[in-house]
Amino acid sequence: MSIAVLILLSVAVLALTVWKAERPAVYVLCAAFLLRMLVLLTDYCHWGHIPFTGADTEDFHITTLAFIAGTGPIKTNYTYVLALFYRVFGDGGRLMAQFFNVLLSYGAVMLVYATLRDLEIPRKRLLLAVSLVAFMPATLFLSGVLLREAWIQFFLTLSACAFVWWYRKGSMANVVVCLTATYASMLMHAGCIGALAVYAAGFLLARTWKTVGGRTYAVTACLLAGFLAILLLVPDLLLAKFHHAAVSGHSFNPKPVAAGSSYLMWMKGMSLPMKLLLSPVRMFYLLFSPLPFDWRDVTDGIVFMVDSVFYIVLTVMMFRRPLLGKEAKMKRFLIYTVFALTFVFAMGTTNAGTAVRHRAKFLPVMVLAASLTAAKTNPDSRELTDVE
């Protein structure tokens, strides 16, 4: 049954892409989906080794089987998601769980494409932006394996796109989608809380003529109150890892997980205020490592050239001359979101491999912020569309 469902859904996704997407973007999008399917099959059928697989992916699989059998504890919320697929599809549960990750990862690509097309980004820049999200190696490799990165990336992308939609078109539905999607990403990693704080501030401060009104405040306040109530009533749902770290005394002092790949270990043992003071250094390493002066071997050099250098370019693009009109403020809030996520993830990361995985989660948000430089504006309405 699982094979039949996989084939039918794959055909449906490709058919929908061909129907909705414009050429030549349709070729990029179809290639993105097919490459993600190739990653899935390569890992599931053991045709070769996929980066980022190994101990983590197998641990999720074993933990889920133990949970279903009633012999093991829950380690992360991802176990509940996997257990659903394992129970519904039986022996094909792992295959369908990995296929679900493919759909989530591809969904992030489609969201970026749809949003940039709506923003009227010039075609060449749009294709370049979509290609970055579609074919960046880390994002591609993480799309079809048994990890939670695809889930986090999709919901962070959805929240960013919903914020853009709200800013340009209004609608309380976009407020609900943005905050709820951010909360969904937090279910898999509490580090996404930085994005929640930025979007909430954005709904209160970044108003336009289409989004003025008390309803925005009321909906935002109600959703935040609901999330806070869940956090207080079920603290282990989101902050179990942070609570354990604080109790054990190892907060923000992660152990190196791979020989030679650790960085900034000289910060280990520092007080929290000192770590906060030096947080820009941690953020720099998270976004751009492995750096040339930290390369272990030729592999690090390759990773830098195919991954880190693109984050350097995107960061520079984000800070190019801001747009005139309402898109300027919208872009600033997307930049704030990128740096809030970078800050939170960087505080607990001292390993180059983990840094590559973490920053892939919010790559689409960086691409959206960098691409806004090329958006079209109406010079006659620049002053009228920005309500302070």
Per-residue pLDDT reduced to its tens digit, 190-230: 889 999 999 999 998 877 766 667 788 889 899 999 998 98
Quick one: pLDDT at residue 322? 56
Quick one: pLDDT at residue 293? 83
* C-beta of residue 285 within 8 angstroms of C-beta of residue 291: yes
Per-residue pLDDT reduced to its tens digit, 104-123: 999 999 999 999 999 888 88
Quick one: pLDDT at residue 54? 81
Of 180, 30, 367, 130, the closest CA to residue 172 belongs to 180
Quick one: pLDDT at residue 8? 96
**pLDDT(249) > 60:** no
Of 162, 165, 173, the closest CA to residue 196 belongs to 162
**pLDDT(95) > 60:** yes
Quick one: pLDDT at residue 251? 43
User: How large is the average pLDDT for residues 9-16?
Assistant: 96
Quick one: pLDDT at residue 366? 96
Quick one: pLDDT at residue 325? 54
Sign, CA torsion 232/236/242/243: positive
User: How large is the average pLDDT for residues 338-346?
Assistant: 96
User: How large is the average pLDDT for residues 150-171?
Assistant: 94
Quick one: pLDDT at residue 242? 52
User: How large is the average pLDDT for residues 67-94?
Assistant: 90
Average model confidence (pLDDT) across the chain: 86
Q: From CA 98, how far away is CA 145, in angstroms rounded?
A: 6
Per-residue pLDDT reduced to its tens digit, 265-289: 888 878 888 889 999 999 999 999 9
Strand partners, 386: 208
**pLDDT(256) > 70:** no
**pLDDT(246) > 60:** no
Per-residue pLDDT reduced to its tens digit, 345-388: 999 888 898 999 999 999 999 999 999 875 554 443 333 333 32
Would you list the DSSP string of 87-153?
A: HHHGGGHHHHHHHHHHHHHHHHHHHHHHHHHHTT--HHHHHHHHHHHHH-HHHHHHTSSSSSHHHHH
User: What ranges do the domains of the chain cover?
Assistant: 1-147
DSSP label of 213: S
Quick one: pLDDT at residue 175? 94
Q: From CA 216, how far away is CA 204, in angstroms rounded?
A: 7
* C-beta of residue 99 within 8 angstroms of C-beta of residue 40: yes
Token pair listed for 284: 């720099």
- With 0-12 CB in 10 A as exposed, 13-18 as middle and 19+ as buried, what is 23? exposed
Q: Is pTM, for the whole model, over 0.75? A: yes
Per-residue pLDDT reduced to its tens digit, 292-331: 888 888 888 999 999 999 999 999 999 876 554 557 888 8
> pLDDT > 70: what percent of the chain?
88
Q: From CA 219, how far away is CA 179, in angstroms rounded?
A: 10
